[in-house]
Amino acid sequence: MSIHEVFMPALSSTMTEGKIVSWVKSPGDKVEKGETVVVVESDKADMDVETFYEGFLAHIIVEAGETAPVGSAIAFIAETEAEIEQAKSLANSGGAAATPTSSPEPVAATASAATPALASQNGSNHKEGRLVASPRARKLAKELKVDLTTLQGSGPHGRIVAEDVEALSNKGKQPAPAPVAPPAPVPTSAPVAPPAPRTPAPAPVAAAVPGQTVPLTTFQNAVVRNMVATISVPVFRVGYTITTDGLDKLYKQIKSKGVTMTALLAKAVAVTLQKHPLLNASYSDQGIVYHSDINISVAVAMDDGGLITPVLQNADAVDIYSLSRTWKSLVERARAKQLQPQEYNSGTFTLSNLGMFGVDKFDAILPPGQGSILAIGASRPQVVATADGLFGVRQQMQVNITSDHRIIYGAHAAAFLQDLAKLIETNPQSLTL
């Protein structure tokens, strides 16, 4: 017989503390090995945490809404009902380390969406034949009267997610739509249209009360740490004007097929990076790290005031239609805090697009671990002198690149921007090939 501690797991390489979003189980509830007991908010996403032990949730140390450092105990699991009271006494006494009945095993829980490195370190919590579903999927299945055993999960290890429940529920319901928010209409006048779905502006973090101090969210604290980390990096910035008439025309032709402007811009940048591997590289103490893949991070404002950068992996090699579908899915799951770690921490080059807010130009802050970030402003009609000596109106946008001057110099950035402009201005159709 023994009492086990449930520890706050490390759900990402940058996570130092986690916030309890909700407890799926209540004190006294029976828990099975591999069953979700708590949902934890890391610095980038909400993840289900599954127990390695079978028994009863005896006592909760860290309540919902509270935070705890990685590795600290957040609850106790007792193997028998008789040990529940003993676990409570143990918690009140200050811990289990000095108690003979406590388990010597250091890890009691891990996230179902954890990285492969975590899974190998803590051991697999996936069991063949076991029904694995997220709390949101279970709740939705109950509301829609969907039998989870009839579903094939699309998540990690076949885990059933909310989208699987919605898809099954909508079969045979014509023409009832899926119970998700409809995408916002995409404006046709500007080439830097926001991805769907997209809110006009990020929602406020909390109601502003004069004289009150509102604590930062976990997401915001992660942004603070990242921004502070960039202060020591010497950077420089280069601006460029790109005519987008050809890109606008292409976008109008293919947007009905689900293509987003964000995907087009990411594709254009990724294809250009093939010719400029140094702009896709990053600095390390050992030298210049040339990445084998071109993974484009795109900054997305969260509704609670945070910021996350979903990653379009291998954007240079994926067709524009698949890339657009992937981007839509990434944004939806980012705002629901359901991204997998590799979907937000594997970027090699970042785009930040404020054009949809009417911003003409701005400077973006270099993300830690990357060599460059491109800031994209709004596309506007401009009067320009044409090659034949006349005046004409052209759609133009301002882009500014911020680069790590330790490995990238002005000429490198300028050459990249020249080739990016050439692709967008003279051969945008190639982005659909």
**pLDDT > 90: what percent of the chain?**
38
Buried b (16+ CB within 10 A) or exposed e, 222-244: bbeebeeebeebebeebebebbb
User: How many angstroms separate the CA atoms of 33 and 408, rounded?
Assistant: 50
Strand order in the sheet with 3-7: 3-7, 73-78, 55-60, 30-31
Instruction: With 0.85 as the threshold, say if the pTM is over it.
Output: no
Question: Is it the case that residue 384 has pLDDT exceeding 60?
Answer: yes
Residue range 204-258, pLDDT digits in tens: 445 567 888 888 777 777 778 878 888 889 999 999 999 999 999 999 999 999 9
Give the confidence band of 179 by pLDDT, cuts at 50, 70, 90. very low
Question: Is it the case that residue 317 has pLDDT exceeding 50?
Answer: yes
Give the confidence band of 363 by pLDDT, cuts at 50, 70, 90. very high
Strand positions, DSSP E, 90-209: 109-111
Contact yes or no for 329/311 (Cβ under 8 A): no
| More confidently predicted of 148 and 94 | 148
Give the confidence band of 268 by pLDDT, cuts at 50, 70, 90. very high
Write down the pLDDT at residue 114.
35
Question: Is it the case that residue 329 has pLDDT exceeding 60?
Answer: yes
Whose tokens are 């449930």? That residue is 6
Burial of 212 (0-12, 13-18, 19+ CB in 10 A): exposed
Question: Is it the case that residue 163 has pLDDT exceeding 80?
Answer: no
What does the block give as tokens for 201? 């502006």
Across 145-160, average pLDDT: 72
Average predicted confidence (pLDDT) for the chain: 79
Across 132-145, average pLDDT: 71
For the ranges 81-90, 242-251, 286-295, 372-381, the lowest mean pLDDT is seen at: 81-90
Strand positions, DSSP E, 293-426: 296-298, 300-301, 307-308, 311-312, 349-353, 372-385, 391-404
| More confidently predicted of 300 and 162 | 300
Question: Is it the case that residue 173 has pLDDT exceeding 80?
Answer: no
Give the confidence band of 155 by pLDDT, cuts at 50, 70, 90. low
Q: Which helix (H) or strand (E) holds 75?
A: strand 73-78
Write down the pLDDT at residue 82.
79
Q: How many CA atoms lie within 13 A of 217 on its CB side?
A: 18
User: How many angstroms separate the CA atoms of 412 and 238, rounded?
Assistant: 10
- Distances in Å between the alpha carbon of 232 and those of 166, 235, 248, 332, 369? 47, 9, 39, 34, 12
Burial of 101 (0-12, 13-18, 19+ CB in 10 A): middle
Across 360-384, average pLDDT: 94
User: How many angstroms separate the CA atoms of 424 and 266, rounded?
Assistant: 12
Burial of 314 (0-12, 13-18, 19+ CB in 10 A): middle
Question: Is it the case that residue 269 has pLDDT exceeding 80?
Answer: yes
Across 80-106, average pLDDT: 60
User: How many angstroms separate the CA atoms of 398 and 376, rounded?
Assistant: 6
User: How many angstroms separate the CA atoms of 21 and 3, rounded?
Assistant: 24
User: How many angstroms separate the CA atoms of 380 and 361, rounded?
Assistant: 11
Give the confidence band of 313 by pLDDT, cuts at 50, 70, 90. very high
Find out whether the peptide bond into 175 is cis, omega within 30 degrees of 0.
Answer: yes
Catalytic residues: 405
The one-character DSSP state at 82 is: G
